[in-house]
Amino acid sequence: MRFLVTAGPTREPIDPVRYISNRSSGKMGYAIAEAALEAGHEVILISGPVKLDPPRDAKFVSVSASDEMFDAVHRHADQSDVCILCAAVADYKSAKVSPVKIKKRAGNLSLELVPTRDILDSLGRGQNRRFLLVGFAAETNDVEENAVQKLRAKNCDIIVANDARLGMEGDENELIILFRDSEMRKISRASKKILAHELVKIFSEFATKTFDKKNVMITERN
């Protein structure tokens, strides 16, 4: 199967030297990309800036801002069987990007932020989608409830939920996997590498159940 994986944070520029970003390490997405390659799948990894080496056998697309990630994902999604959006895309970006470094002045400075485009949501809205769509939900509270809402709102097939405090930078994670038909599975705390192998198995089984060999939907989507 052909896997598309997004990973890492995005950087939303403010001026040529400053940006808005988050603590995402990219470890979960990179581990999924590696596990998918080990299982014999083709992988395209679309990554924001992280301190990790991309797996050698993956097609690698390096991006920075959410708009670049949006364009890269949309360029490749239709040629994929499974799209796993694991990146911690910034929710907001600066309304204006200054072409020159903003000078320090006395007093406060306000920055107007506008929402970024939601990549997962945009794929979920696509008509005749022929790939399995997996989203991630990093929450600090009410993990399960928020994940159920996200699954429905973004029209995904699977949402993988984790506690953001545990999952963002560390080597371990603990997952709740929610499926479109309301099935739920939990995977208790383990290294991201071990979790990634489990996830790849689950995604490829689910994709096989959902699509036949010609990549045509064989089960009804609700």
Give 11-54 as a DSSP string. -EEEETTEEE-----SHHHHHHHHHHHHTT-EEEEEE-S-SSPP
Q: Which is nearer to ligand C5P, 63 or 87 (CB)?
A: 87
Query: Is the distance from CB of 157 to CB of 165 less than 8 angstroms?
Result: no
Instruction: Give the chain's count of helices (H) and strands (E).
Output: 6, 12
Alpha-carbon span 116 to 26, nearest angstrom = 19
Query: Is the distance from CB of 47 to CB of 59 less than 8 angstroms?
Result: no
Which helix (H) or strand (E) segment is 5 a member of? strand 2-7
Residue nearest to ligand C5P (CB): 119
Provide the minimum distance between the beta carbon of 155 and ligand C5P in the complex, in angstroms, as a whole number.
12
Binding site for ligand C5P (CB under 6 A): 6, 66, 85, 87, 89, 91, 116, 118-120, 135-137, 150
Provide the minimum distance between the beta carbon of 153 and ligand C5P in the complex, in angstroms, as a whole number.
8
Provide the minimum distance between the beta carbon of 122 and ligand C5P in the complex, in angstroms, as a whole number.
8
- For the question of residue 22 being annotated catalytic, the response is yes
Q: Which is nearer to ligand C5P, 37 or 84 (CB)?
A: 84
Q: Which is nearer to ligand C5P, 122 or 191 (CB)?
A: 122
Q: Which is nearer to ligand C5P, 74 or 101 (CB)?
A: 74
> Active-site residue among 22, 141, 146, 173?
22
Q: Residue 209 has which token pair?
A: 């159940």
Active site residues: 22
